[in-house]
Amino acid sequence: MDELHTALDALAGHDLHDLSDGALLERTSVLVAVRNRLDAELTRTVRAADTRQASEHDGLRTMQSWLRGHARLSTAEAGRILRAGRALEHLPAVAAAFAAGTITAEQ
């Protein structure tokens, strides 16, 4: 996880004003794909935690309450992540495309 933080710090350090329009659009495209992959990994991780009832480790009954309390997600967003994780277990092709970054969490 430290490597992820380091990579994000490096990205944040780039001066976007030095980039051409094409380079900005390419960067945007790459960042969207990376965001999709990160969302997929979050969904996969939350599903594993939900299945194992890991929220009880922190004294909370559900992963939705854990996501609201610890990650400060809205009820709607926490529910969306949980529903997606449950659905993806039955849709391996969609799960693979999500993990590859080619589709979004909303799709």
Q: What is the mean pLDDT of the chain?
A: 93
DSSP state, residue 102: S
Strands (E), 7-101: none
**pLDDT, tens digit (0-9, with 9 covering 90-100), for 42-88:** 999 999 999 999 999 988 899 999 999 999 999 999 999 999 999 99
55 within 8 A of 61, measured Cβ to Cβ: yes
Residues 6+ apart with CB under 8 A from 84: 43, 105
pLDDT of residue 65: 95
pLDDT at 105: 87
Predicted model pTM: 0.86
In the chain, % of residues over pLDDT 90 = 85
Domain residue extents for the chain:
36-106
Report the b/e string of 33-52 with b at 16+ CB within 10 A.
eeebeebbebbbebbebbee
